[in-house]
Amino acid sequence: MNDEASRYSRREFIKRVIASGAVASAATYIYGGLSGCSTKGQTLVAGGVERLVSINVNGELRRVDVLPQETLAMTLRYKLGLTGTKLGCDRAECGACTVMIDDVTYYSCSVLTHSVRARKVVTVEGVGGPNGELHPVQQAFIDELSPQCGFCTPGQVVSAVALLKRNPKPTRDECRAALAGNLCRCGAYDNYLNGVMRAAQGAVST
Amino acid sequence: MSYKLLGKNFTPHDVLAKVTGQAKYAEDFRVDGMVFCRLLTSPMPHARVRSIDTTEALKIPGVVGILTADDVKNPPAPAPTILTNEPRYVGEPILAVAAVDETTAQDAIEKIKLDLEPLPFVINPLDSLRPNPIDARLDGNVGAQGVKLQTIRWTKEDFEQADEGKLPMGKAGEDWSYGDIEAGFAKSKVVYDETFVTASNSHHCMEPRTALAYWQNGKCFVHGSTQSQSFVVPGLAGLVGIAPHELVYIAEFCGGGFGSKGAAYPVMAIPALMSKKIAKPVMMRISRAEEYAVGHARNAFIGRVKLGFGEDGRLLAADMYIVQEGGAHNGFWDFRNAADALSIVYTPESMRYRGVPVYANTPTRSAQRGPGENQIACALEPLLDRAARDLKIDPLQIRKVNTPKIFDSQVGNDRRKVTSAYLGDALDKGAARFNWAERRARSGQRKGSKVTGVGIGQAYHPAGANGFDGLCRITPDGILHIHTGVGNLGTFSHSGTARIAAETLKYDWEKCVVERGDSRKHLPWNLGQFGSNTSFTMARTNYVAAMDALQKIKEIAAKDLGGKPDDYDVDGTKVFAKNSPGRSLSFAKVAQRAIDLGGKYDGHELPADINPMTRASATALAGSGLIGVAKDTLPVGGETAAFACAFIEIELDIETGTHRIVDFLNVGDCGTVIHPMGLDTQIKGGSVQGFGLAALEHYVVDPQTGIPGNVGLYQAKPPTYLDVPDLKADWVDKPDPTSPMGTKGIGEPPLGAAASALVCAISDALGGHLFNRTPIRPDMIINAIAKLPPAHKPMQIHTA
């Protein structure tokens, strides 16, 4: 696909969502403006999606005004101030936007915020302890000097935390498979794997 | 030599923010009233804008402004443009639209009536050299930094004289030679004449080159994505049309650059220029697809090399010609670097080089990690193996025979002296640790459909520069502030080189603060964080600044405690009399005394030779403590060089054409080790990128339409976790004599070493088959095994 084609394909995706039912209000520009999304041209449709929704993010119930076509990554980054979730591709290729939804990893760039109502979303800002303690994976990534540029790191952290939740004692190859959806152009794969193994060993000994 | 800090691991201060998500990259900042802008980019590879009608677009509610090429002052041709009325590649920005949100901006772009006159375009540079040419630009077909913009045509005879599949070699854009190559070839036992292609590949930085800009109180604020900090400022100020001191530049974190974000690049000026026009803060997010157009790629080569070896494997003569496909604007001089690499890695007794950088209507190019050196490693290393095979000597031995001497080796046309070259030591160390002899015995062993291949690869890059400024400061609380203008590429060398200053003053690292990443931190003029230079260049600047501070500390001690400055020494917390250690002043007290004394001690008087940026920073800091500031005027002993060599064993599946890396070791010649863990990750990370360059990453441009083919990560395929085994890294750790503490860079050579080792191993598994092309894709391997011709023509590019 070329540049133009890629852009249109995403727009088509958004347009289809809009066509499926949308709500607009006078507040649109305030919220829409910051979101990078627009509601222009959308009209009130009976049975449409409610805009003001509650989502559970990092253990807190957050009320947020969400456009029908809005992705979770945009909501987190532009409405909830959680910029730890990165957008590297915005099309489910790189994994920098990985979050957990009910303990399962998702690319938040490709999840509609409306679909996570009543579900538990955890971002990199929410994996640590209640008093700001680092998650063992975060500490291990520091100890192993896992990040280089650091842009993919939040996604790597979330994928590793999710892995250890479901498999506290993974093999190195299981780590590799679990993190395979998180690209790192710096090529720090070895160091991230060392980090996950270190975190897993720590969990075993304690 | 043993150091307090050097050679020891530490946790760089920015890692915590990276693992917690608190690290703020350009797109993570918000400003009140911020609007978004989107780009209208060219759908054609070469065209002229006849007219732009924005009437309907401007009627859309929420649209706040449009910026066209007529609103901006582009740098003089053939430099890349900010916005253009003569787009020269698909995806080149023509105009920008700002709106309250991106969707509105995109809607407005769709309402713009753009009338383009299509112009002829060229994808393969050879088509621009033919007697009936098509040119990528209207003002010339050849040029690069160091080669003036001009028109070069090859004659019909040039093309006819070349044998089928061999690169014709007409007039070059530049050439040099030393020694007598004809005599060298005449006395050679074996001579090879090979035509090769090395592909482009995209940089694939995980962070697209987003930028946010606004104007406040007469200054322009830009949050950008660059590898460098201070070095960006003059270039970006120039693009925006202001003086450097009118720009506040913030780049505390950068999500990957690999050469593509080394200096200011034109597209990053768009939000600043738009913001000036509409008087609102502007965020410009670059999409992944756009990143493949404006986000740069490595230059492609179509080359030809003739090598003559003596019976012992010594390279007696080398004759290389490189045609560079360098995009439509001046990108980088990979072609020239390739010749330097040949001259120093294999030290041919005689050599001729010719190169011609040709423009083509393809996405922008820039340096990419080992620009030129790493492509050419992939072309040359398999030829060494071919010679070793024919001469019946070991691949390790032929490399050892040709390896540069540790001192007094020379590089390039002007035979520049290299300050140190421990490539031979690296080969020895690697061969021993990798059990090369044992591995070599496994070459060609077959198990089912799997064949073992082994390989060695080598690469080089310059590893330092000089002449920049250092700035440090001790405040009355006893803290040492090391102000550094390097960027944050992810190598941690901002802190690694800061430790040189701490080491000089014997400071405890816990009492040091690295000031960086924001003009407002008052930073010195430093070179950019590129070209493997930081660990040398800014080791020198931080050393001279700390030495200046040390001298001032001793002078203050002599003033207050008597005697001469030389009677005193420091221990990291205080200055003391050497013959009476009880006579001392704490650094905290010295800092206060510096403020009391004023003048040169607290920055009110500054050296005459420092850069205006450093002067402004030191002036802003004057009176806040003891200031150490100096320009690096240390002796220059020649060209600093870094080398790496890699050893690899693979299993090649002859049924699928795929391979699996069984074991891998990469050894760097990096001077004194500053930070072992940081070095380890650099060598391994470079290796991973090397595997991509050698065998994984696709780069396609459709010759019929000029449309880039691979504009997604899943299409272009940079290496993933599943492509890479556990890696081993090692290093020589011998000091470079021209660096104050022996340090030099290493960022780039490990990539070329890994890439060429993998190319050699694939060739080895196939009994020495030469592909003369990278990347080596599985279909090429399958065709080679089946003895079928490859899917591409010999000098076709952008095919894989």
Q: Check residue B698 and give its pLDDT.
A: 86
End-to-end CA distance of chain B: 49
pLDDT in tens, B133-161: 999 999 999 999 999 999 999 999 999 99
Searching chain A, which residue's CA lies closest to the CA of residue B675?
A: A145
pLDDT in tens, A133-189: 999 999 999 999 999 999 999 999 999 999 999 999 999 999 999 999 999 999 999
Q: Residue B103 and residue A40: Cβ atoms within 8 Å? A: yes
Which of B24, B206, B374 to substitute to test the interface with A, most A CBs within 10 Å? B206
Q: What is the DSSP letter of A95?
A: -
Residue B579 lies in a domain: yes
In a shared domain, residues A83 and A106: yes
Residue B773: enclosing H or E segment and its boundaries? strand B773-774
Phi, psi of B264, rounded to the nearest 5 degrees: -60, 135
Q: Residue B711 and residue A1: Cβ atoms within 8 Å? A: yes
Q: Check residue A10 and give its pLDDT.
A: 47
In a shared domain, residues A62 and A140: no
β A60-65/A52-57 pair status: antiparallel
Tell me the mean pLDDT in the region B345-369: 97
Residue A50 lies in a domain: yes
Mean pLDDT over each residue of chain B, to the nearest integer: 97
In a shared domain, residues B511 and B642: no
Q: How buried is residue B37: exposed, middle or buried, by Cβ count under 10 Å (0-12/13-18/19+)?
A: buried
Contacts of B19 in chain A (CB under 8 A): 134, 138, 141-142, 146-147, 150, 153, 157
Whether B202 has a pLDDT exceeding 60, the answer reads: yes
The dihedral of CA B228, B233, B235, B241: what is its sign?
Answer: positive
d(CA B31, CA B759): 49
Boundary residue ending a domain (A126, A148, A169): A126
Residue B310 lies in a domain: yes
Closest in B91, B204, B488 to A185, CB measured: B204
Closest in A94, A149, A177 to B713, CB measured: A94
Boundary residue ending a domain (B586, B606, B631): B631
pLDDT in tens, B303-349: 999 999 999 999 999 999 999 999 999 989 999 999 999 999 999 99
pLDDT in tens, B597-630: 999 999 999 999 999 999 999 999 999 999 999 9
Q: Residue A125 and residue B686: Cβ atoms within 8 Å? A: no
Whether A45 has a pLDDT exceeding 70, the answer reads: no
Query: Is the CB of B551 inside 8 Å of chain A's CB atoms?
Result: no
In a shared domain, residues B351 and B472: no
Task: State the residue range of the domain holding A62.
Answer: 3-126
pLDDT in tens, A103-134: 999 999 999 999 999 899 999 999 999 999 99
pLDDT above 70 covers a percentage of chain A that reads 74
Which whole-number Å values give the CA distances from A107 to A12, B550, B670, in the listed order?
Answer: 20, 53, 39
* Residues in contact with B592: Cβ distance below 8 Å, sequence separation at least 6, in sequence order: B476
Whether A13 has a pLDDT exceeding 60, the answer reads: no
Phi, psi of A199, rounded to the nearest 5 degrees: -65, -40
With CA atoms as reference, report the closest residue to B240 among B196, B271, B283: B271
Residue A131 lies in a domain: no
In a shared domain, residues B483 and B616: yes
In a shared domain, residues B646 and B607: no
Residue A99 lies in a domain: yes
User: A47 vs chain B: nearest CA distance in angstroms?
Assistant: 24
**Coil, strand or helix at B650:** strand
| B775 upstream amide cis, omega within 30 of 0 | yes
Q: Residue A14 and residue B101: Cβ atoms within 8 Å? A: no
Whether A40 has a pLDDT exceeding 90, the answer reads: no
Residue B105: enclosing H or E segment and its boundaries? helix B102-111
| Structure-token pair, residue B524 | 């010195």
Q: Check residue A118 and give its pLDDT.
A: 85
User: How many folded domains does chain A comprise?
Assistant: 2
Q: Check residue A203 and give its pLDDT.
A: 62
In a shared domain, residues B496 and B441: no
Residue A28 lies in a domain: yes
If one counts every other C-beta atom within 10 angstroms of the C-beta of residue B505, the result is 23
Residue B664 lies in a domain: yes
| Structure-token pair, residue B471 | 């700035």
β A52-57/A120-122 pair status: parallel
Q: Check residue B185 and give its pLDDT.
A: 98
In a shared domain, residues A19 and A117: yes
Contacts of B689 in chain A (CB under 8 A): 185, 187
Q: Check residue A16 and give its pLDDT.
A: 43
In a shared domain, residues B378 and B471: no
Residues 36-75 on B with a CB inside 8 Å of A are 36, 41, 43, 60-62
Q: How many CB pairs lie under 8 A apart between chains A and B?
A: 224
d(CA A177, CA B36): 38
Q: Which of the four pLDDT bands, split at 50, 70 and 90, describes residue B799?
A: confident
Q: Residue A189 and residue B688: Cβ atoms within 8 Å? A: yes
Q: Which of the four pLDDT bands, split at 50, 70 and 90, describes residue B770?
A: very high
* Residues in contact with B548: Cβ distance below 8 Å, sequence separation at least 6, in sequence order: B470, B628, B629, B630
User: How many folded domains does chain B comprise?
Assistant: 3
Q: Check residue A33 and give its pLDDT.
A: 37
Q: Check residue A48 and give its pLDDT.
A: 57
d(CA B124, CA B321): 16
In a shared domain, residues A71 and A149: no
Which of A4, A99, A145, A196 to substitute to test the interface with B, most B CBs within 10 Å? A145
Q: Check residue A150 and give its pLDDT.
A: 98
Q: Check residue A29 and give its pLDDT.
A: 31
Residue B374: enclosing H or E segment and its boundaries? helix B373-391
Phi, psi of B704, rounded to the nearest 5 degrees: -80, -35
Tell me the mean pLDDT in the region B181-208: 97
Q: Which of the four pLDDT bands, split at 50, 70 and 90, describes residue B261?
A: very high
In a shared domain, residues A24 and A71: yes
Q: Residue A38 and residue B290: Cβ atoms within 8 Å? A: no
In a shared domain, residues A119 and A141: no
Whether A22 has a pLDDT exceeding 60, the answer reads: no
Higher pLDDT pick, B760 / A52: B760
- Residues, chain A: 206
In a shared domain, residues B281 and B333: no
Boundary residue ending a domain (A80, A105, A126): A126
Which whole-number Å values give the CA distances from B546 to B333, B470, B559, in the listed order?
Answer: 35, 8, 20
Q: Check residue B484 and give its pLDDT.
A: 98
Closest in A14, A84, A180 to B22, CB measured: A84
Boundary residue ending a domain (B631, B658, B682): B631
| Structure-token pair, residue B371 | 């620009």
Boundary residue ending a domain (B565, B599, B631): B631
Q: Residue A187 and residue B204: Cβ atoms within 8 Å? A: no
Integer-rounded Cα Rg, in Å, for chain B is 27
In a shared domain, residues A119 and A147: no
Searching chain B, which residue's CA lies closest to the CA of residue A5?
A: B289
pLDDT in tens, B537-559: 999 999 999 999 999 999 999 99
Whether A39 has a pLDDT exceeding 70, the answer reads: no
CATH number at residue A39: 3.10.20.30
CATH number at residue A161: 1.10.150.120
pLDDT in tens, B26-49: 999 999 999 999 999 999 999 999
With CA atoms as reference, report the closest residue to B129 among B151, B165, B154, B148: B154
At CA B350, angle to CA B349 and CA B354, rounded to 5? Answer: 140
Whether B578 has a pLDDT exceeding 60, the answer reads: yes
Residue A195 lies in a domain: yes
Q: Which residues pair with B321 in a beta bridge?
A: B304, B354
Task: State the residue range of the domain holding B70.
Answer: 18-119+206-294
In a shared domain, residues A119 and A145: no
Whether B177 has a pLDDT exceeding 50, the answer reads: yes
pLDDT above 90 covers a percentage of chain B that reads 98
In a shared domain, residues A140 and A110: no
pLDDT in tens, A64-107: 999 999 999 999 999 999 999 999 999 999 999 999 999 999 99
pLDDT in tens, B13-26: 999 999 999 999 99
Q: Check residue B388 and give its pLDDT.
A: 98
In a shared domain, residues A102 and A9: yes
Whether B99 has a pLDDT exceeding 80, the answer reads: yes
Query: Is the CB of B678 inside 8 Å of chain A's CB atoms?
Result: yes
Residue B163 lies in a domain: no
